[in-house]
Chain A
Amino acid sequence: MMDPWARRLRHDIVKRAVWAARDLRSLEGAPSEGDVAALRRGLYDLRDEEGAAVTARSLWQRMRLEAPRNTPELDRFSEAIEEAYAAVDSLPAGLAAAVSALLRIEERFEELARSLDQHT
Chain B
Amino acid sequence: MPKLFVIDDRDQTVEMVHRHLPQFETVTRCDRNIPCQVCEERDRGCPLKCAHDYREAAEALSTQKQLPDLVVLDLHFALPEDRLLPEDKTGIEGKRGMEEIRRTQGLLILERLRRDYPNLPVVLLTTTDAEFDRPKDPLIYFCENEVVDSRTLAAEITRALELQSAAQEGPVFWGKSPAMGALRRQIAVLSRSPLPVLIEGETGTGKSFLAEQVLHPRSGAKGPLVVTDLSTIPTTLLPAHLFGARRGSYTGSVEDQPGVFEQAHNGTLFLDEIGNLDADLQRQLLLVLERGTVTRLGDVRARPAAPRLVAATNLDLEALVREGRFRQDLYMRLNPATRLRVPALRERPEDLPDLVRFAFLDALRAEQLRPLVRAYLARYPTPDDFVEENDAVVFGKPQASRARRDAFTVFLSKTALRRLVAHTWPGNHRELKLLAFNALVHALAQHLDAESAPHERAPAVLAIPDAVIESLLGNGETKAARPLISAASALNELGRRVEVTLKSGHSFADISADVERQYLVALFEAMEGDLDRMAAELFGAGASRRKVHLRMNQLGLRLRELRGAQA
**Contact with B83, one of A4, A28, A34, A51 (Cβ below 8 angstroms):** A51
User: Given the known A-B contacts A1-B131, A49-B102, A51-B9, are A18 and B78 also in contact in the complex, defined by CB atoms under 8 Å?
Assistant: no
Task: Name 21 interchain pairs, CB-CB below 8 A, sorted by A.
Answer: A1-B129, A1-B131, A4-B99, A4-B103, A8-B78, A11-B76, A14-B147, A15-B147, A16-B12, A19-B12, A19-B147, A23-B16, A23-B149, A37-B43, A38-B15, A41-B12, A47-B9, A49-B78, A49-B102, A51-B78, A51-B79
Give min CB distance, B561 to chain A, whole Å. Answer: 50
B149 x A16 contact (CB < 8 A): no
Chain B residues closer than 8 Å to A10, beta-carbon distance: 127, 146-147
Digitize A1-41: 1 where CB-to-B-CB distance is under 8 Å, 0 elsewhere: 11010011011101110111011000010000010011001
A23 x B151 contact (CB < 8 A): yes
Interface positions of B (Cβ within 8 A of A): 9-10, 12, 15-16, 19-20, 43, 52, 76, 78-80, 83, 99, 102-103, 127, 129, 131, 146-151, 256
**Is A48's CB within 8 Å of the partner chain B?**
yes
A18 x B147 contact (CB < 8 A): yes
User: Given the known A-B contacts A4-B99, A16-B12, A23-B150, are A51 and B80 also in contact in the complex, defined by CB atoms under 8 Å?
Assistant: yes
In the complex formed, the residue of B with least CB distance to A5 is B99
Give min CB distance, B263 to chain A, whole Å. Answer: 11
How far apart are the CA atoms of A11 and B10 in the complex, in Å? 10
How far apart are the CA atoms of A14 and B102 in the complex, in Å? 17
A28 x B78 contact (CB < 8 A): no
- Number of CB contacts from chain A to chain B under 8 A: 67
- Given A14-B147, A51-B52, 4 other A-B residues pairs in contact with their CB atoms under 8 A: A22-B148, A41-B15, A46-B10, A51-B83
How far apart are the CA atoms of A19 and B148 in the complex, in Å? 6
How far apart are the CA atoms of A4 and B102 in the complex, in Å? 12
In the complex formed, the residue of A with least CB distance to B130 is A7
Give min CB distance, A75 to chain B, whole Å. Answer: 21
Interface positions of A (Cβ within 8 A of B): 1-2, 4, 7-8, 10-12, 14-16, 18-20, 22-23, 28, 34, 37-38, 41, 46-51, 106
B20 x A23 contact (CB < 8 A): yes
Give min CB distance, A1 to chain B, whole Å. Answer: 6
A16 x B151 contact (CB < 8 A): no
How far apart are the CA atoms of A93 and B256 in the complex, in Å? 21
10 closest cross-chain pairs (CB), A and B: A22-B149, A11-B76, A51-B79, A49-B78, A23-B150, A50-B80, A2-B129, A18-B147, A15-B147, A23-B149
A47 x B147 contact (CB < 8 A): no
B79 x A106 contact (CB < 8 A): no
Chain B residues closer than 8 Å to A51, beta-carbon distance: 9, 52, 78-80, 83
